[in-house]
Amino acid sequence: MLDVYATCPPSSRARPEEFRRDLARSASWTDDAGLRGLLIFTDHDVVDPWAAAQMLIQRSERLVPLVAAQPPYMHPYSVARMVSSMAFLYGRQVDLNLITGGSPYRMRTIGDALEHDARYERLIEYGEVIGRLLTSPEPVSYEGEYYRVRRLGLFPPADQALLPRMFVAGSSDACLDAERRLGVVRLRYPRALQEYEPGSAELRGGGLRIGIIARDDREEAWRTAHDRFPDDPDGERQYRIANRFSDSVWMDRLSEDAAAPAVEHSPYWMHPLRTYKEYCPYLVGSYEEVGAYLARYLAMGVSTVILNVPHEEADLHHAALALRHAEKLAPESVVAP
């Protein structure tokens, strides 16, 4: 079974009343579309993801918040306690996206100067402590380089029927090591299909974050795409500047794809990223075209898809049609969680 999440709208450029409206609307859209949940980012310039997660739970019937958890922002004990508290208060599950933070500059502003690979080593310890606290019936002791706890009990105790699904995000060898050692799902921004070797197992059991603009008619899909993401030379300059301040491997790889000439008639579209409007590739075209392209990712073993922020409710239903087409084309390759 393929797990599908959407993405929460950003709060950075919204007035409080607008963001509250957008958050409630996204919760309703996600429930109505039958998706598993909503990804909630964390960064210096957005509201606390746990506050957003609580509002999402209160405004929805089923959705699962996928909360980004980052070591400098919150101790692993606090993360585990937030998960168990949400289950205790609402009887609802919260999934976790364990991240390191992609901007060294922003990390330094809060006194976090670790290099790229060291941040992943710390993230592994972070995930191990969270996992043990959530699953151990006894108090937890842990001795690591970055975290040390002594006979630490969790209250309220975690509901074992509502344990989170856990993810890590990244494309580097250090992130791959974190995926293996923690036994979690790795989320990536997919490259164009031609960048993968035939029969590649690189994506097996993993997840993709991608935007989808699909319609019954190919031309209508591309008109919608160009209306939403017109040419923007200023945005392209901002994107090039932002790249210089990142040590992210996925950013480097996607930048290569963004700079390459587009493949004629391919649904894979990098323009929203290249113009600094979005941070993921898009697939654009008819349901059949987008579904056939997605099916080739599924055939590589993809188990989770995280859709970008919807502009309107219909976006999720259009995307769901393309995803259903993809699953029909590659049913045997869809990996159950």
- Tens digits of residue pLDDT in 271-280: 898 887 887 8
Q: Which of 69, 3, 10, 9 is nearest to 37 (CA)?
A: 3
Q: Is the pLDDT of residue 233 over 60?
A: yes
**How far apart are the C-alpha atoms of 34 and 62, rounded to whole Å?**
9
| Percent of the chain clearing pLDDT 70 (strictly above) | 90
**How far apart are the C-alpha atoms of 43 and 321, rounded to whole Å?**
32
pLDDT band at 265 (very low <50, low <70, confident <90, very high): confident
Average pLDDT rounded to a whole number, residues 133-160: 97
Q: Is the pTM of this model over 0.75?
A: yes
Model pLDDT, residue 236: 77
Model pLDDT, residue 336: 33
Model pLDDT, residue 260: 67
Model pLDDT, residue 247: 57
Average pLDDT rounded to a whole number, residues 21-42: 95
Q: Tell me which of 25-34, 123-132, 273-282, 311-320 is least confident.
A: 273-282
Q: Is the pLDDT of residue 223 over 90?
A: yes
Q: Is the pLDDT of residue 334 over 80?
A: no
Q: Is 329 helix (H, G, I), strand (E, B) or coil?
A: helix
pLDDT band at 335 (very low <50, low <70, confident <90, very high): very low
Model pLDDT, residue 245: 57
List of E strands, 8-165: 37-40, 64-69, 95-98, 140-143, 148-152
Q: Is the pLDDT of residue 224 over 80?
A: yes
**How far apart are the C-alpha atoms of 126 and 246, rounded to whole Å?**
22
pLDDT per residue as tens digits for the range 158-200: 999 999 999 999 888 999 999 999 999 999 999 899 889 887 8
Average pLDDT rounded to a whole number, residues 141-152: 98
Evaluate whether 147 touches 167 at the Cβ level (below 8 Å): no
**How far apart are the C-alpha atoms of 129 and 141, rounded to whole Å?**
9
* Torsion angle in degrees (nearest 10) through CA of 14, 167, 190, 238: 40
Q: Tell me which of 49-53, 172-176, 286-290 is least confident.
A: 172-176
Neighbours of 30 (CB within 10 A): 27
Q: Is the pLDDT of residue 228 over 80?
A: yes
Q: Which residue has the tokens 């996204």?
A: 26
Chain centroid to CA 3: how far?
12
Neighbours of 214 (CB within 10 A): 29
Q: For 41-81, give the secondary structure using H, E and C.
A: CCCCCCCCHHHHHHHHHHCCCCCEEEEEECCCCCCHHHHHH
**How far apart are the C-alpha atoms of 55 and 210, rounded to whole Å?**
25
Residue 290 or 335, more confident: 290
Evaluate whether 206 touches 302 at the Cβ level (below 8 Å): yes
Alpha carbon of 217 to those of 124, 205, 266, 306, 313: distances in Å?
Answer: 45, 32, 15, 23, 18
- As beta bridge partners, residue 67 has 40, 96
* Mean pLDDT taken over the chain: 90
Residue 279 or 47, more confident: 47
For the chain, helix, strand, coil in percent to 5 are 45, 15, 35
Q: Is the pLDDT of residue 299 over 60?
A: yes
Model pLDDT, residue 261: 66
Model pLDDT, residue 249: 64
Average pLDDT rounded to a whole number, residues 244-248: 60
Average pLDDT rounded to a whole number, residues 145-166: 97
